Structure 1
C-alpha cells in the first residue's frame, strides 16, 4: 500500500487522538502544526501498522514515530523494553533518545536509554538492569548487549530502523538483519530511509507485513527555509580566505562547517580560532564525552563554529545553527541534503553555502537536480565589504561601552587633555590604536589583489601530467589498483570502472599513472569504507581492482607492486617518447 502526501494537513496535533500528556509536551516544544510525514504516519503507527517512510532529514520523521509509539506505551511496575530504535551513529541515537524524553516529559516513570559504542558498558548495564521502556542504539552496541544477555528483546513491541540507507553505507545491514531475527515475530516495524536501494527493499519485504508506504516526494522538505548559495574557489588557501570573509560579512549565530577528513576538522578549527572565533572540531577520533560537551557548548553559545565530518554531525540538531558551510563538497547529493538539513529546521530560516573548486561544478548540477532548486552563485566578499563590516563592528563596541559606567575614565581623559592640551579626538584616536594593537583593522586591497593574481596562474583542478611520485593534490588521496600495462589497461578503463561502480563523476577522479603490474589513481580523501569495498571487488579487463590506499596492503595477502622492477614505472621507449606512462583522467 503506498501513500503520497496530497491532502491538507490537520490544523493541530489534537486531531490525531494523542493523550493529554503528549499534547502538553508538544505544545511546550512550540510545534504548531504537523509536517506532511507526521500527518500520514502518525495514524498508521497508532493503528499498529508496519510502515515505510521515505523522507529526507529535517522533515519531522522522529516525531512521526515517537509520538504515536509513546501514546501506545504500556506502563508496568518494572519497566521492560517495549520500543527498540536502531540508528547508524551515536549522535543520531542520542538525538532520537532526547526526542522521546522531550515528548514523554509528562508521562510518569518513562525511562529512555541510548546505548552506543565509545562509552563504558558499566553505566549502560546498570540502567538496563533497573529497567527501561525505550532503547535507542547503534547496531554494534545493541548486538553486544543482546549477546551479553543484558538486553532482552522478548518484550519488544515496536522496532524502528532509522536512516536505513545510512546503515547500509556504513556496512551495518547484516547486523540489522541479525537483530531483527532476535526480536519477537509479532512486532510492529517502521523503516525510514531517504533512498530505497534494493537491499533495503529486500529487508522490508522479508520482515515487514503489509506495510503502509509513505513517500514525501520533495527531496528537500526544508529547502524553502534554506537560502542556498555556492562560491567558486581554487586551492586550499583561497578556500580559507573565502571562509574567513564570509564569516566576517555574514550575520551568523551557530555555524556548522563540513569537511571530508578528521584531520581537516582540527586544522580548520585552529585556523578559525586564530581569526578570533570560538571554534572546535567534531570528528570520530574525539572521545565521546568530549564530543557531547562540544555540542552542548554550541547549544549554549560558548562555541560559535563546529568543524565536523559527516559521520560526527549525523543527527546533530541545534536550534541556533544559522549557517551550514560546505568547506568540502560531499561525495553524493544525499550527504549534501543531510548537511544543509542541520539549519532551516521546523520553520526557521537558514543559510547554506557551498565552496566549490572549478572542476566540481558538475556535482553542483547533480545537487540542483536532486533538490529541485537552483543554487545561487555568490561572489567572494570584497575587501571594501569586509572593511565596512569591521568598522561597523568597532563602532558597535563603542556604542555598547557608552551604555556602561565610564565616569572614572571620563574624568581621567578630561584631566589628561587639560594637562597636555591634546584634543579629545586625538586622545580617542590614541586609545583606539592602543586597543587595536599591532594587528591592522582593515584588509589591504593591493596586497590581496596581488595574491589573487598569483593564485589564478595555478592550474585548475587536480589532474595533470605530473609523475605519480609527486604528492596528491589537496583533498585527494592516492590509491593502488592491481591492474597495469601488462594487462592492457588504459586510463579510460580505470575512469569508466570507478565512475560506473560507485556512481562517481569523472571530475572526482584525479591523476592516473599506469605501471607494469599495477596503476595508481588519485581519489577524494576520506572515501567511505563501503565505496572502497565496492571498488576493491570491481573488475577492469577481467581482473579485480583490489583497490587500497598507497602504502597499505590489500585485503588479501598480495602487496601491490612489481617485484621485478621494484614497483617503479616502466620506462617509455626513448626512441618514441621521453614522457612517463602517466595520464589524465579527462
Structure 2
C-alpha cells in the first residue's frame, strides 16, 4: 500500500480541481460547496483513478462525500449492461447511518437521470426492499445483517458490482459484524474497487484491508482538535416550533455581543440569511467565495471599524479572518468536518479575550454533533433560547436608552415648541401626549413579543438521555398542570435504554409541565406508561408525539385501558423510581446483544 498523511494546514483546493463529472459539479455549484475537506481532497482523486483506498479519519470529517462523489462521477461508464444489479454496495454499521448515506447519494445525484439508491436495514419490512431490488437500483446502502439476508435469499445480486465501500469499519468490528463483512466480501466480484474507511485501524481491520484491497492508496488525516479554553461552547437543538432564523433573531436581541460571525454551509445560504437579517434592522453583510477579494477586504474593514456588526460567511471566506471585536460565532449550519468547527470557533476569543460559540443542531445531525465532542474532547453545554421575558426586557431597555440619548440632543427646541402649541390648542395634558409620541417613535412594529406569536415558544432540549428533569419551564396552561391525572402511553421502554429521568426531562422541557406534576412512570420492555395532568392542550399533545427520547419518538397516546391514575398529590414521584436494565437477547451466533434498538425512520428531502 502507498501511504499519504495530511493535516488541515495545507492550502485549500477547490472541488473543480479534483476531476469530478459535470453532473456532480453542477450539484456542488448549486448548493454552494466550495472546498473539499482533507479526507475528500486526499481520497477522491485515487478513487476516480480506479484505485482502492484505505482511509483513516474521524467521524464527521466528510467521508460520505469522499466516496459518493467519485462513485457518482463514474457511475454511467459501464451503464447497466449486466442487468438490474447494483453497481455499488456501501456497508454501514447502523440503520441511521445507512439512511444518511442514502440521502447523501440521492442529493449528490440530482442531475443524474434515473439514478436510484436503496437503503436496506433490519427492522424495516422486506416488501419495499424486495420491490425496489426487483426494479433495479444503482447503489445499495445497507447494514451487514440485512445485506447477508438478501444475498442468501438470492434477492440481491452482486454480479455487476463495480464499487464496494466499508464505512466506519472499526464500529462494525465493535458491534460484532466483522465476520458478516468478511462473508459479504467473499460474494463480490474480484475486480471490484474497494474503499474502506475507519476512525482507527485495529489489527482486524488491517487484516481485512490486506486481504481484500489491492495496491490501495492509504490516507491518514491528522486532525488538530484543540479549542481555546477561553471560548464558551453551547448548542441548541432545532425544533419545538422555532425555526433557526427565529432562534438566531432571538439571540441577536437578547445575547449581548460586540461583533458576530454566522457560519452557513453554502454561498447561497449566506446571501439569503444576510438579506433577512438586514431586513430585521441588523448591520449585516455576507462573505463567500463568489465575492471578489477586494470586496471581501472592504467588508472585513467595515466590520473592524464598526460599520458592520454581523458577517454571514462560508468556511473558505472566513479563513484566516482575525478581527478582535468578534465576540460570538454562531454555527447556523453544523459543519460536516470537525476541523471546520475548530476553525470556525477560533474566529472568536482572539488576543486572550473571552468568546462565545453557539451551535444549531437538528436531531438528524446528532452523529455529527457527537463526533465534534469526541474530536475536541470537550463537552458542549446545552442552552435555552432567550425567553420572551428576556427579549422584551432587552427591547424595553433599548427603547429607554433611546429616550435617554435623545434627551441630550440639542435638536429638541423645535419639538418642545410644537408640543406646547398642541397642548394649548387641544387642552391635552403632557402625560397623555407622552405615550402617543412613544407610539409614533416605535411605529407599527410591536415593541414586545407576545405569547402565541411565531417564534415565541421556549427552545430548550437535550439529546436523548441527557435530560434530567431538573429544568422547570413556565406553565403553559394552569388547568393542565394543576388537575387530576390520566394515563398516557409512550413508545419507548427498557429495550431502548430509557430511564425515568429521561422521560421526566423530555416532558418537563417540551410540554411545560413542572416535574412535580408528573405522576407514576411504569417502564415496560417496548413502551412506558406515564401519568400526566388531565386537560392536556391539543397543540402540546401533538408536539409531544414528535419529541425524541433515547433515540425514539414518544408517539404519545392516551391509554384508556390502564388502571386508574392516583389522584393528584397521592402519587409516587418519578425521581424515586429505578429503571430496570434493558433485557438482553442472544444472537444467532451466540453473542449477547441488545434487542433491536430502533433508529429514526428515513425522511426524504
- TM-score tier by shorter-chain length is 0.3 to 0.5
